Structure 1
Amino acid sequence: MKNKVVVLGSLNVDTTLHVANMPQPGETISAQSKTSSPGGKGANQAVAAARSNADTCFIGQVGDDQSGQMMIKALKDNGIDTAHINIVEDQGTGSAVILLDENGQNSIMVYGGANQSMGSAVIKQAEELIKSANFIVAQFETPQERTLEAFKIAKENGVVTVLNPAPAATIMPELLAVTDLVIPNETESATLTGIEVTDEASMDANAAKFQKMGVKNLIITVGDKGAYYSTEAAHGFVPAFKVDAVDTTAAGDTFIGALCSQLSGDLSNIAEALTYAQKASSITVQSMGALPSIPTTDQINATYKN
C-alpha cells in the first residue's frame, strides 16, 4: 500500500545564477548563465515523494501571479493534489536566488512572500486531509505556528509528524513536543542543539539532546558522507553513494521526500528507507536544477540494479 504523504511547505520559483566561484564580501562577479525552475523546499519534497510513488498532497500558499500558477501546474504535472494551495492577492509567490559554482556547491537566498503570510485558515481547511495521511512533512520556509497547528491535528489522529528544520532557526518548544521525527543536516543539528557534529559520538549526543527537547527520533544528513539515524529501537549510520556532484540543490529535499515514500509508520524499516533515500539524492546531485533533477522510482531502480 502506498504511503499518503502530506507536505506543508514552501513554493518558490528558483532563479539560478551559474558562477565560476562564489563571490567574496564586497566582490562583484559576472554570472556565466541564468536558469529558472519551480522549487522551494516544500515543493521539492512533495515531488520527490510523488516520484517515488507516494500518494502526495500539498498544503501551501502562492500569490495571484504567473509564478503561482507555474508552481501549481508543476505540482499537478507530478500527480500531486493541489486542492489545499491557497492563492492570495496581497503577497507575491515565494522566490529564491541560487548561486551555483563550478564545483556544484550553492548559496541560496530566499524571499518568503506568500509562504510566510500563511494564516490559520489554510490549516483548518486542510484538517480532514491531515487526518487521512500516514505522514505530514514540514520545513521552516512557512510559519512555525502553522506547522504547530497542523502537527497537533496529526498527532491527535495517529499521523507521523516529520520536521525538516531548514533553514535553521529557533524552534518553538511546543512544536518539538508534537514532532515524531526531526531531520536536520549536520549544520542545522549543531545550531539547534549547540553540539557540533564531528563523529558518531557527537551525533549520539545530538540525539540525546533532541530527546531532552522532546523528539525521540532523529536523522542527521551529512552531505556526501551519508546519514545518521537514532530511533527508540536502534541507531546507526547509512553511507552515501559516491557520485560526481553537478548541483547539490534539492539533494536534501529529495532525500526527505523519498524517505517518507518508503518509511513504515513505526520506523521499523528506517535503515532500508534511508538507503533508498540516499540513492534518490545521489541521482539528484548529478543533474542541474531542483525539480527537474529529482528521480522517479524507476530511475532509482535502474541506476542501482543491485
Structure 2
Amino acid sequence: MNETPRSNPRVLCAGHINWDVTMHVQSLPDPDGEVHIDQLIQSGGGSAANVAVGLVSLQTPAAVYGSVGGDEAGAMALRALDRAGVETGCVLIDPEQQTSVKYLIVDETGQVMVLANEGANEGFSASAIDPSMFEQIEHLHLTSQHPETAQSLAELAHEAGVTVSFDPGRRVGDRDFSAAIDATDILFLNRHEAAAIGRTHADRDTPETVLVVKRGGDGAVVRTSSGEVSHSGFSVDVVDTTGSGDGFAAGFLATVLSSGEMIRNRPDKYERALIVANACGALTATESTARVPLSPASIEALSGISPIESSQ
C-alpha cells in the first residue's frame, strides 16, 4: 500500500470522523415509495477528517483528532486517512461504541439527504489530547462537536499561540457554541447557519473574528470588522455536493497558511484564499463522495490561482 509521505502537521482538525455510504438515485422517494439505487459508494467521511485530507492534498500537513468505534467501519475510516497521509496518532478508539455511519442519498441534481447515527464520533474531549500537540501545530480547525470540547480546544490553542478556525455545521442553531465562537479567529458558515447565528447570537459582538459565509453555487463572502470581499464562485457540472464545504475550508486554510498572514481588518488579504476555496468547493461537487482529489494543479486550472503561492 502506497501512502502519502508525512511531515509534522501544520494543522490539527478536530471533530467528526465517519464512514459514509453514498447512494445515488434519480430522485428522493415519496412517503412509502421506493426508488432504484443507481450507484452505491462507501468511503471515509466526517468534516474534520475531510478537511484534513483536503489540506494534505494541498501540501499542508494535517492531523485529525476525534473518535471512532472499535468496529470495522472505524478501522476502514482510519485506513482511508492513513492512505491520504493524514496523521491519526491521537484519534481515540472506543471499543464499546460503533463508529458513526452516515447514509447519504444524492439525487440527480447533486442535492443530498443525510441519515446518521451518533455513534462514537463525539466521544473525544479536550482533556484526552496531549497538550504538547499544540506546540507542534500552527493552526487548529474545529468542526461539529460538543460545545464544551470546542471551547476547551480553542482555549488550549490560544494559550499556545495557535490560531483557530471553526465550522460548526448544521447544528449551530441548536447548540450553544457562543464561547467557542468567541475564541475563533476564522468562522465558516453557510447562509442558513449564518442566519441561525444571527438569531441565536444577535446580542453578541465578535469583531476580531473573520466571518466566511459560503453561498453554495453563488460563491462566498469574507466579512471583517472593516469591510468585506466576495467572489461569485465557479460554474461546474454538479454531481454530489457532499463535502463541498469541507473542500472549501481546506482550500481557504491552505492558502491563508501559505501566505503567512491572518489580518482580521483587511478583507482584501483574503481574496486569494476565497477564490481558491470556491474552486475547491466546486471541484468537490463534480464527483461523488465527500473526498475528491484536490491538487494545486487542478485548482489553478479552474481558478487561475495556486493555493501554495504567496498572496503578498
Which range, TM-score by smaller chain? 0.7 to 0.9
Q: Note if 1:243 corresponds to 2:236.
A: yes
Normalising by structure 1, what TM-score?
Answer: 0.87
Normalising by structure 2, what TM-score?
Answer: 0.85
* Distance of 1:23 and 1:283 partners within structure 2: 28
* Distance of 1:221 and 1:304 partners within structure 2: 17
**1:201-247: per-residue Cα shift (whole Å, max 9, x none)?**
xxxxx9xx586257622010000101111123441211101111111
Query: 1:20 aligns to what SS in structure 2?
Result: coil
Q: Note if 1:276 corresponds to 2:276.
A: yes
Look up the match of 2:295: 296
Query: 1:212 aligns to what SS in structure 2?
Result: coil
Look up the match of 1:72: 78
* Distance of 1:167 and 1:5 partners within structure 2: 23
Look up the match of 1:57: 63
Query: 1:116 aligns to what SS in structure 2?
Result: coil
Query: 2:236 aligns to what SS in structure 1?
Result: coil
* Distance of 1:211 and 1:217 partners within structure 2: 14
Query: In structure 2, which of residues 181, 184, 197 is the aligned counterpart of residue 179 of structure 1?
Result: 184
Aligned length: 289
Look up the match of 1:146: 149
Q: Does structure 2 conserve the Cα–Cα contact (< 8 Å) formed by 1:100 and 1:106? A: yes
Q: Does structure 1 conserve the Cα–Cα contact (< 8 Å) formed by 2:190 and 2:214? A: yes
State the Cα distance separating 1:110 from its structure 2 match: 2.4
Matches within 5 A, 1:153-172: 153-169=156-172, 170-172=175-177
Q: Does structure 1 conserve the Cα–Cα contact (< 8 Å) formed by 2:185 and 2:210? A: yes
Q: Does structure 2 conserve the Cα–Cα contact (< 8 Å) formed by 1:5 and 1:260? A: no
Q: Does structure 1 conserve the Cα–Cα contact (< 8 Å) formed by 2:68 and 2:91? A: yes
Q: Note if 1:89 corresponds to 2:89.
A: no
Q: Which amino acid aligns with 1:176?
A: I
Q: Does structure 2 conserve the Cα–Cα contact (< 8 Å) formed by 1:5 and 1:261? A: no
Q: Does structure 1 conserve the Cα–Cα contact (< 8 Å) formed by 2:66 and 2:123? A: no
Query: 2:248 aligns to what SS in structure 1?
Result: helix
Look up the match of 1:11: 17
* Distance of 1:273 and 1:77 partners within structure 2: 27
Between 127-136 and 21-30, the greater mean CA deviation after superposition: 21-30
Q: Which amino acid aligns with 2:16?
A: S
State the Cα distance separating 1:26 from its structure 2 match: 4.7
Query: In structure 2, which of residues 107, 115, 121 is the aligned counterpart of residue 109 of structure 1?
Result: 115
Q: Which amino acid aligns with 2:166?
A: L
Gaps of 5+ in 1: 196-205
Q: Which amino acid aligns with 1:180?
A: D
Distance 1:210 1:78, change over 3 A: farther
Look up the match of 2:4: none
* Distance of 2:37 and 2:297 partners within structure 1: 35
Query: 2:96 aligns to what SS in structure 1?
Result: coil
**1:28-68: per-residue Cα shift (whole Å, max 9, x none)?**
43333322111111111111111111121111111112211
Query: In structure 2, which of residues 262, 265, 269 is the aligned counterpart of residue 266 of structure 1?
Result: 262
State the Cα distance separating 1:86 from its structure 2 match: 1.1
**1:227-274: per-residue Cα shift (whole Å, max 9, x none)?**
111123441211101111111111110000121111144246311111
Root-mean-square deviation over aligned CA pairs: 2.3
Distance 1:211 1:235, change over 3 A: farther
Q: Does structure 1 conserve the Cα–Cα contact (< 8 Å) formed by 2:276 and 2:303? A: no
State the Cα distance separating 1:163 from its structure 2 match: 0.8
Query: 1:281 aligns to what SS in structure 2?
Result: helix
* Distance of 1:236 and 1:305 partners within structure 2: 18
Query: 1:155 aligns to what SS in structure 2?
Result: helix
Q: Does structure 1 conserve the Cα–Cα contact (< 8 Å) formed by 2:43 and 2:77? A: no
* Distance of 1:180 and 1:211 partners within structure 2: 15
**1:121-150: per-residue Cα shift (whole Å, max 9, x none)?**
423x2x22123322211111x222221111
Quick one: higher RCO (CA 8 Å, sep 6+), 1 or 2? 1
**1:66-102: per-residue Cα shift (whole Å, max 9, x none)?**
2112111211212211111111111111110101001
